[in-house]
Structure 1
Amino acid sequence: MLKVQEIRELIKLVDQSSIDEFSYEYEGSKIKMKKHGAVKSVVEQVHPTAPAPTPQPVPAVQEAPRTESKVETAAVQEVKQEEIQDISNLHKIVSPMVGTFYQSSSPEAEAYVKSGSKVSKDSIVCIVEAMKLFNEIEAEVNGEIVEVLVKDGQLVEYGQALFLVKPE
């Protein structure tokens, strides 16, 4: 006879597989599982001396419906394509060195730029501190800051994107 834990393991395996029906017989034990939306299983303990098998329900592992419409999938793919195209049109301001990102000249000062700020090529957008040297980073492009990608005080790597800018 199979133990409850072994039966639960079988239920999980059937649930994770693509099969819809599973049967198992061994030494008088018979298990039959069918999957239609949710996993359902019944264990029948068959003994040669027993008059009739007694079905014993086993807790089913519920499964979320796996129905996915092709229309929804196509719509999601179109949105992702639009996002990729939107991002590809944006200019990335990257860190020219490894260091610590600062959005302002001092903790009390206002940030150089934030989302929606207009910048020109020579506008200072942040400071990257490396080895006690504070390096002012310029926008290098005329446009509007769309997103600040790092947080104040965060360590940044060489070439890491710091800002996304919509060029004008």
Structure 2
Amino acid sequence: MLKIQEIHELIKRIDESSIDEFEFESNGTKLSLKKNKEEVIAQQPAVNTVQPTTSVPVKTEDSADIEQVSDTNTSTEQPSTSTKNYDYEIVSPMVGTFYSSPSPDKDVFVQVGDKVKADTVVCIVEAMKLFNEIEAETNGEIVEVLVENGELVEYGQPLFGVKTV
């Protein structure tokens, strides 16, 4: 059985670490700790006209206000009326870091225009120091790469657009 002081120490250490969730079980006693992260997400409506640069305050984990500058000229956000030129998305099966090649000095697994089969490795997602090869799971052609190399990806986030055959 954990003492209150030990639990307080665990909470403090988890709060200071990058761990979001912690579970401990001993002698029939279970302790589960989860961080609550407050995020403020500002969305701008998609428009076809050029707008000047705007500043949006963003609240971070440590509650400090930071000015985030966004420029609609370089935004990758597509208008909601646009059509996709693919009919299948390869999505991330986990949270982690996206890598387009097996190592920095090697060629990318796939690029736009490449034909893929269901068992073709298209990228790696690193999660907790484990490098997980992600397969296409469909036959077709890569028509769009939706994330940048080294970018943090979420569970279910689209990675590639594929036109199936």
TM-score calculated relative to the size of structure 1: 0.49
Higher-Rg structure is 1
